[in-house]
Amino acid sequence: MNKPWRIVGQGLAGSCLGWAFLERGIPFEIVDPGTGGSTRVAAGLINPLTGKNFQPSWLIEDFHPHAVNFFERLGKRFGVELWHPLPVMRLAETEKEWLKISSKLDLPEVSGWLDHERDVATPAGFIHQVILRGGGWLDTRLFLDVTRRHFLELGVMEEGVEDMEKTDPSRILCDGAEGLMRNQLGPHRCAKGEILTLRAEWSEELIRVGASGWLIPLGQGLFRVGSTYEWSQLDQRPTDAGLARIIGIARKLGGDEFQVVEHVAGIRPILRRSQPLIGKNAAGNWIFNGLGSKGSLYAPKMAEMLADWIGDGVVPDASFVYESSKEFPS
């Protein structure tokens, strides 16, 4: 029997790769301590049109249906709700911001995501809004937990930390920001982010995006709100500055009355914005990294591409492939 592939890291990347291997009957084992990582912290938000520029995410038409279908299917299989679809209200605070958004509304790659049916009032403090379809959030912790439990039952999950001093050609590195900070793939742009969970009596109808942040209703009076970007202090410690910044976002997007239930921090694994890469590193190990701020959207399909490459030799398009000699725009 062939030696199984050894996946290092059970975040979104390693978990999705494990599922893709299982479907294809490719033998593997997976190692992770189960305590850290970005996935455990992430809000799991998928918002089709993002950023100040109100831009469709990279290859969204292709990756979005794939991700939603994957998480819905897996949730059904385990009798849990992993994917929570919710419309997104994209808010503009200033005329300048609204001009940017409104100038794009007729573009074909934008107009398909607009929901014109819903008539919702613009919250105080904002001047305009548009409603987007296709949004929602992945319960990332539950996804990791059901995956881990299943892999443990199958006897393929090892709880521990891989000793990276030793070389092992069967390793597939899905070790997220920790791997990037070990300088495993050359220059990176990893960014720390902080998130709050709040309890409040606000409307739970929509995800709100604006004021350089977002507010996600989790149900039962709980909301997640974020986030910060910080490039110099790459650790997982929540800070007072982060707390103050996110409380400011919460006040604008939700209101003044809330209680903070949880404050967490993590590090986004960024190589070239939120465009992940698969391939081999300089040492010859397979890698899957760089999910950036959009792991929920990109992990399932990238994992399948990597499994098809490793299992059947199907080489993906060069735009998905990591090469140690290539430099990426930050």
Cα 319 to Cα 330: distance, rounded to the nearest angstrom: 15
d(C-alpha 23, C-alpha 20), whole Å: 5
Binding range to ligand FAD, per CB under 6 A, among 73-81, 121-129, 160-168, 316-324: 160-168
Is 238 near ligand FAD (CB under 6 A)? no
Residue with the shortest CB distance to ligand FAD:
11
Rg (CA), the chain: 20
Check binding of 162 to ligand FAD (CB under 6 A). Answer: yes
Between 139 and 178, name the residue whose CB sits nearer to ligand FAD: 178
Q: Does 164 bind ligand FAD (CB under 6 A)?
A: yes
In the complex, least distance from residue 310 CB atom to ligand FAD, rounded to whole angstroms: 17
Residue written as token pair 């593997």? 28
- Per-residue x/- mask for ligand FAD, residues 180 to 209, rule CB under 6 A? -------------x-x--------------
Instruction: Tell me the window of 51-59, 100-108, 293-301, 304-312 that interacts with ligand FAD (CB under 6 A).
Output: 293-301
In the shown chain, the binding pattern of residues 252 to 271 toward ligand FAD, with x for contact by CB under 6 A and - for none, equals --------------xxxx--
Kindly identify the residues of this chain, within the stretch 129-158, that bind ligand FAD according to CB under 6 A: none
Residue entry with tokens 């103050």: 244
Q: Count H helices, E strands: the chain?
A: 8, 19
* Residue 265: how many other CB atoms lie within 10 Å: 20
- Binding span for ligand FAD by CB under 6 A among 79-87, 174-182, 200-208, 307-315: 174-182
Helix axes 140-154, 60-78, angle to 10 degrees: 60
- Burial of 291 per CB tally in 10 Å (0-12, 13-18, 19+): buried
Buried b (16+ CB within 10 A) or exposed e, 115-127: eeeeeeeebeebe
3-class state of residue 31 by DSSP? strand
Q: Which is nearer to ligand FAD, 188 or 294 (CB)?
A: 294
Q: Contacting ligand FAD (CB under 6 A), which of 7, 17, 20, 41?
A: 41
The helix/strand/coil state of 82 is coil
43 lies in the site for ligand FAD, by CB under 6 A: yes
36, 135, 238, 300: which one contacts ligand FAD (CB under 6 A)?
36
**Per-residue tokens: 234:** 């790459």
Tally of residues, the chain? 330
Interface positions with ligand FAD (CB under 6 A):
8-14, 31-33, 36-39, 41-45, 161-162, 164, 174-178, 193, 195, 226-227, 266-269, 289, 291-297
